[in-house]
Homo-oligomer: A and B are copies of this chain.
Amino acid sequence: MVRIAVLVSGGGTNLQALLDAQDAGGLGPGRIALVVSNRKAAYALTRAAEHGVATAVLSKVMQPDPVLYDEALLRILQENEIDLIALAGFLGIVGEKVLAAYPGRILNIHPALIPAFCGKGFYGLHVHEAVLARGCKVTGATAHLVTAGVDEGPILLQKAVDVLPGDTPEILQRRVMEQAEWLLLPRAVRMLSEQVEGEK
């Protein structure tokens, strides 16, 4: 079994996609063992609790120093014997120590086709606003490994999604979630879980 921590910040729809995939046997050897939120009011925590998954809250308010935050997060992950980390709408930054402890074992889902609309400033609705401002007709999502550079790690999976006339950032965000993120994230988690299981 590969123990997975899912890091969240908000509503947790990507977490829900992972929980649903797990229930359907879609995560292979992967098992969601912990949900960590950097916001105590994140609805994702409720979803986790309803699914019987352990939760932890570690916010900037609780720990404003980024180095100490990184250490506290690492401690929580190690105490829970986590093998693999999935960032699922997590708006924080993963620090050096966590990165060093989990090389090639942290994945993220980005709501655009990297290298387009990625890097600093491109998160949440801002991504979709930029896609619409450029007049793109195709966007998508990318599951990638997390390295020190923002959105610079190796790409695992990508899926294209059409931009349609009349789209608002909110409508486009929802379509990218439904047609790409919620499919790619469980597939990427399974791929990486199988790899980690093979290395054990």
Contact = CB atoms under 8 A, between A and B. Distances in A.
* Identical subunits present: 2
B157 A137 contact: yes
A67 to B, nearest CB: 31
A135 B158 CA distance: 10
A146 interface: no
A196 interface: no
A38 to B, nearest CB: 29
Contacts of A157: 137
B140 A138 contact: yes
Interface in A107-123: 113-117
A200 interface: no
B140 A114 contact: no
A78 B106 CA distance: 59
B115 A140 contact: no
A154 B140 contact: no
A116 B158 CA distance: 14
A155 interface: yes
Contacts of A113: 113, 116, 136, 138, 160
A159 B137 CA distance: 8
Contact of A134 (B115, B117, B137, B140): B115
Interface in A147-193: 154-155, 157-160
Contact of A155 (B117, B136, B154, B159): B136
